[in-house]
Amino acid sequence: MLNPLTNDFVEKLSAMLPDKALRLATPADVEEPRGRYIGLGTHVATPSTVEEVSKIITACNAARIGVIPFGGGTGLVGGQVAPQGPLPLILSLERMTQIRATYPQENVLIAEAGAILANVQSAAQAVDRLFPLSLASEGSCRIGGNLATNAGGLNVLRYGNTRDLCLGLEVVLPSGQIWNGLTRLRKDNTGFDLRNLMIGSEGALGVITAAALKLYPRPAENCTGVFVVEDPTAALALLNLAQTIAPSEVSAFELIHKTGLEFLSEKLPDVRQPFENKPEWMVLIDLGTAKGRDPDALLERLFEEGHAAGLISDGAIAQNEAQRRQFWEVRERIPQANKAIGSIVSHDVSLPLGSIAAFVIEGLARLAKLGDMRVNCFGHLGDGNLHFNAFPARGRDRHEYDAIRDDIQRCVHDLVSEMGGSISAEHGIGRLKAKDLAHYGDPGKLAAMRAIKTALDPNGIMNPGAVIGNLHA
């Protein structure tokens, strides 16, 4: 059983740490972006070194006090807040923000876990390299949180998830011991892969304090196009054609539905949309090419061949960087418009590519039987990740659907499970989906996860209640 954080413990911890390493919690430390949870927390530890993190975790483990690791606070599944249980200590990485080293010839950068993603991108750019992780929250999310949730984003199709962008980690384990796994090696076959165990564990197995990240050569040229397609089936056929015409050069392939465009017009009319008449479906394609390869010509060829094959009915190719940013702004601000509308329930799911078209058709049909609602289906089609979000019908409030909210989520997740997909593509499990994981997860996998949690964190102090629930309740 965990013990609550007490004033006596806070005083002891304060005496162990330097000035500024402990502060009172603010609303930003206990709230999550969608307003689904208000967490517990009166004090926040703000270490500036891995040794200070080790002292904090060692003390909390000895006193059996829960620890909630906190990065940028941008997570969407409640992994960074604890709304119930004994009062925990919040541990923020906000002061561990250093770029420790860059090795451009090795294509490696070493960053502390509190480094903001945009600053990691800038540090890579400063040595003429690319760190390709790109998220809507990149101006405030932190790389430790990105790793802890195995964040996805816009460039997974070409570069992979955050897991694929990491070579090594520095981690403080639940005992307080420091694992010095900050290797720059690309081959290290020395036993169990603790790096991949920690990535995606959402702070339930330890605190990531630094990472060795993969960098890439910057594309010599980039170009973006938006093409109108009839439906997701045509979009997938166009993706295959794009990867034939420009193998290894398609950085992003995003599916956008008319509902998202309507939400932009309704809530963010300043966003300039590429088509006067909103299409039912469109895709955004981004190419990044090496020197000597013309991305504009490749997109023009894609349009011509796609149109001839009946896959594209209209399109536009960015003529300059300003127009390219306008196209991307449409995609990047859809989540902001969604938030302004107010969803009934959001779904971050992934499916086999061949099942996506059938999922969309069947999903819309099943939700229509539950009630009158709007569905905004959009996302990273190239890697099978859809955001299939339900919104109130025009003129209605989302709280009118509270009685069927769980039914809507179960309807979508049941269909995802039937089609061999995942109920969490890129947002993680957190607390929001812990029960869903228990319901849909493979029993063997869940048993192994519980065994690993018990072995590494026998007192259950690390992010209690997240991912697999509270084993020590």
pLDDT, tens digit, 9 for 90 and up, residues 95-116? 999 999 999 999 999 999 999 9
Task: Report the C-alpha gap between 216 and 108 in whole angstroms.
Answer: 9
The CA-CA-CA angle for residues 126, 129, 131, to 5°, reads 100
Residue 280 predicted with pLDDT over 60: yes
- So what's the pLDDT on residue 147? 98
Q: Which of 212, 171, 85, 78 is nearest to 457 (CA)?
A: 171
Residues 376-413: pLDDT tens digits?
A: 999 999 999 999 999 999 999 999 999 999 999 999 99
Other Cβ atoms within 10 Å of 266 Cβ, number: 12
- Quote the pLDDT of residue 471: 61
Per-residue model confidence as pLDDT tens digits over 291-348: 999 999 999 999 999 999 999 999 999 999 999 999 999 999 999 999 999 999 999 9
Amino acid identity of residue 361, one-letter, is I
Confidence of residue 37 (pLDDT cuts 50, 70, 90): confident
Q: Kindly tell me if the per-residue pLDDT of 472 is higher than 60.
A: no
Average pLDDT over residues 46-53: 98
**Are the C-beta atoms of 163 and 201 separated by less than 8 Å?**
no
The string of pLDDT tens digits covering residues 175-231 is 999 999 999 999 999 999 999 999 999 999 999 999 999 999 999 999 999 999 999
Question: Would the pLDDT of 473 be above 60?
Answer: no
235 has a pLDDT exceeding 80: yes
Per-residue pLDDT tens digits for 250-275: 999 999 999 999 999 999 999 999 99
Mean per-residue pLDDT, 36-41: 90
> Which string of b and e fits 431-459 if b means at least 16 CB within 10 Å?
bbbbebbeebbeeeeeeebeeebeebbeb
Q: Using an 8 Å Cβ cutoff, are 213 and 165 in contact?
A: yes
- Whether the predicted pLDDT of 470 surpasses 80: no
Give the global pTM.
0.93
